[in-house]
Amino acid sequence: MDSTTLWNHIESIREKSPLVHNIANFVVMNNTANALLATGASPIMAHAHSEIPEMVNICQASVINIGTLDEYWQQSMFLAADKASSLGKPFVVDPVGAGATSFRDQTLSELLNYRPTVVRGNASEIMALAKLNTTPTKGVDSTAESNEAIEAGLSINEAFGSVVCISGKTDIVLDGKKKVFLKNGHELMTKVTGLGCSATAIIGAFIAVIDNKLEAVSAAMSLMAVAGELAAKNADGPGSLQMHLLDKLHNLTAEEFSSLLKFSVE
C-alpha cells in the first residue's frame, strides 16, 4: 500500500460515484450527505422499516450510525445489517457513544453479530465496544488516544472479522494482519460535530467500490484527514472549517495529497 494506491482509490470514487445508503443521525444527517457528495459518491438517507431491504438491495454499501438511537431506528439498523449481510454487501457501523448507556451497548453487540465489514469509532468507543474500556466514555467525544485502543480494535477484528478504524490525532486502521497509521488532520476538527460521522459515511463510499477493505478504509481516512488539514489552514474557526472541508473533499488534487500524506504500515 502506497500513496499512489490510496490516491487512485480516491479518484475511483469520483469516477464510479457509488450509491451509499445511510442510517445517519439527526445531528449530522445533512453534513454526512454533503460529505459524500463532495467526495463524489451519491448518498441516500433512509430508515423506514418498509423500505430498508429494497434500499440496501439497490445501494452498493450501507452506513449504520447509532448517534441518535431510538427504538424505531434500532430496528431499522438490524433490518439493514441483516439484509446487507444476507446479500454480501459491505456495511460500516459507527458506534457513536458506545459505553455511555446500556441501550447503545445492547444495540451495538447485536449489530456486531452481523459481522460489519468495518467499524469506525474514536478510541473510547472502540474500547467500550471491545468491553476493555477502563476510561469512561465522555458522551460522544473520546477521552483516550487512538493507540490505547489498538488491543481493543484487534479483539473486535478477531471476533467479528471487521476492519477496525480508530480515529483521533492519529487514525489507525487495522485488520488481523496489518496496521495503518495516518498522521494527518487538525485539532480544530474536534470542534465541529460529526466529522467522525462524515469519515464513517465516506468509508461507506470506499468499501462500496474497493475490494481490499483495509486499503478502502485507509484511503477514506487519508482523504478526510488531508482535506481537514488543508481546510483548517484556511479556516478562522469551526464554522469555516466545515465549509472549507466540503470544498477540499471535492477539489483535493493529487499533488496536495501526495505532498501532505503522512502514513506508515506495520
Ligand X SMILES: Nc1ncnc2c1ncn2[C@@H]1O[C@H](COP(=O)(O)OP(=O)(O)OP(=O)(O)O)[C@@H](O)[C@H]1O
Smallest separation (angstroms) from ligand X to the CB of 110: 21
Please report how many Cα atoms fall inside a 13 Å half-sphere around the Cα of residue 28, on the Cβ side: 28
What is the contact surface with Mg ion in residues (CB under 5 A)? Answer: 96, 196
Pairing of strands 42-45, 19-23: parallel
Contacts with ligand X, 142-181, as mask; x by CB under 6 A: x------------------------xxx-x----------
29 labeled binding residue: no
CA atoms of 259 and 262, how far apart (whole Å) = 9
Quick note: the x/- pattern for ligand TZE over 47-86, rule CB under 6 A, is --------------------xx------------------
Residue 120, marked binder = yes
With b for 16 or more beta-carbon neighbours within 10 A and e for fewer, the 126-163 pattern comes to bbbbbeebeeebeebebebebebbbebbbbbbeebebb
Q: Which of 96, 172, 217, 219 binds ligand TZE (CB under 6 A)?
A: 96
Give the contact letters, 227-256, x = binds to ligand X (CB under 6 A), - = no: -x----------------------------
Distances, alpha carbon 220 to alpha carbons 71, 104, 177, 182, 208, in Å: 30, 26, 19, 11, 11
Residue 68 touches ligand X, criterion: CB under 6 A: no
22 lines the binding site for ligand X (CB under 6 A): no
What are the angstrom distances between the C-alpha of 6 and each of 38, 90, 204, 228, 258?
17, 19, 16, 16, 10
φ/ψ of 94, rounded to 5, equals -110, 110
**CA–CA distance from 234 to each of 34, 186, 250 (Å)?**
19, 12, 15
Q: Identify the residue among 197, 205, 225, 241 touching ligand TZE (CB under 6 A).
A: 197
Considering only 39-47, 109-117, 173-181, 190-198, which stretch makes contact with ligand TZE by CB under 6 A?
190-198
Cα–Cα nearest to 179, from 148, 143, 153, 142: 153
25 binds, among ligand TZE, Mg ion, ligand X, none (CB under 5 to 8 A by kind): ligand TZE
204 is an interface residue for ligand X by CB under 6 A: no
Which residues would be at the binding site for ligand TZE (CB under 6 A)? 25, 27-28, 67-68, 96, 140, 193-194, 197
Which residues would be at the binding site for ligand X (CB under 6 A)? 96, 121-122, 140-142, 167-169, 171, 185-187, 189-190, 193-197, 199, 224-225, 228
